[in-house]
Amino acid sequence: MDFRLTQDQRDLRAGVRELLAGRYGREALRASVDADGALDRDLWRELGAAGLFALRLAESGGGVGLGLPEAVLVFEEAGRALLPGPLVATHLAAGTVPGAAEGTAVVTAFDLDGPLVAHLGDADAVLGADPLPAGTPVRSADPLTPLWRAEPAGGAGAYREEGALLTAALQVGSALRTVELAVRYAGEREQFGQPIGAFQAVKHLCADMLVRAEVARTAVYAAAVTADGAEIAAAKLLADEAAVRGARDCLQVYGGMGFTWEADVHLHLKRAWVRARQWRMAAGAEELLAQRLLEEAATG
């Protein structure tokens, strides 16, 4: 079986990267931070027009007609750019909630393991809940992910597997981006008359980051093909680790500069922390994998 990307898939990924680089570069990212994570509705509609939310809808229904593997590639690029907003929930709501596919509606979702919901203040709907619940703002580790506490209503459990996989893809994109940031900084920053990337300790940090990110990406791509629940759980575990540990290691490479507000590294770490609690947390993923191993041992 050939798991290499097709030319169409490579073109899709390149097109999304180009779109996000032009529309949501560093200046736009910093503007989002200054706006306390408030969503840019114009950007949301542009994402809808580009097909991000309708990517998997049938062409007969006004969608793009692609599949889960292509969605993973798109969400990986969104994670790389630190694109804010309830991307996963709005994508999952396309074809169900009016306006979601076109980006004229913002759809969010409750954390499946708790009462928190992101971007409730900007949302037009909550996946699986009707009407829109009231909530109380709570502090979030990520300045680009406002959180609200509300009484859970309805349920998005039917979307858990796809939501977990797409969130894992976002994590992979962030992990790969922190590898790029660390390697670039290691080549620019000098100590004792040479780039810090020449030092073995820094080389090891960057190499470990790359290995974790690539292993996670492979797991996410494979799970997108099989759509198997246990494989999605494993992919989410690996992607969460790659994103969180990658951002931490990137901070180590940056040294004191990485902890300043001017650097973007801390934003990747904070977003990775939040995503690690969305759709499927580590404990639930580990339980699912353990159950699968028990079943295979019993039948094998």
Per-residue burial over 129-145, b = 16 or more CB atoms within 10 Å of its CB, e = otherwise: beeebebeeeebebbbb
State how far the Cα of 300 lies from the Cα of 296, in Å rounded to an integer.
Answer: 6
Q: In 3-state terms, what secondary structure has residue 65?
A: coil
- At residue 240 the predicted structure's pLDDT band, cuts being 50, 70 and 90, is very high
Q: Determine the angle formed by the axes of helices 229-254 and 160-188, rounding to 10 degrees.
A: 20
- At residue 131 the predicted structure's pLDDT band, cuts being 50, 70 and 90, is confident
Better-predicted residue by pLDDT, 289 or 190? 289
What pLDDT, on a 0 to 100 scale, did the predictor assign at position 272?
Answer: 96
- At residue 1 the predicted structure's pLDDT band, cuts being 50, 70 and 90, is low
**pTM (2 decimals)?**
0.94
Sign of CA dihedral 250, 254, 255, 259: negative
pLDDT at 118 over 90: yes
* Token couple for 37: 């994570």
Residues 6+ away with beta carbon under 8 Å from 135: 117, 120, 148, 149, 150
Q: What is the CA radius of gyration of the chain?
A: 19
Could you report the per-residue pLDDT of 9-46, keeping only the tens digit for each?
A: 999 999 999 999 999 988 999 899 888 888 999 999 99
State how far the Cα of 94 lies from the Cα of 100, in Å rounded to an integer.
Answer: 5
pLDDT at 137 over 60: yes
The percentage of the chain sitting over the pLDDT mark of 70, rounded to a whole number, equals 98
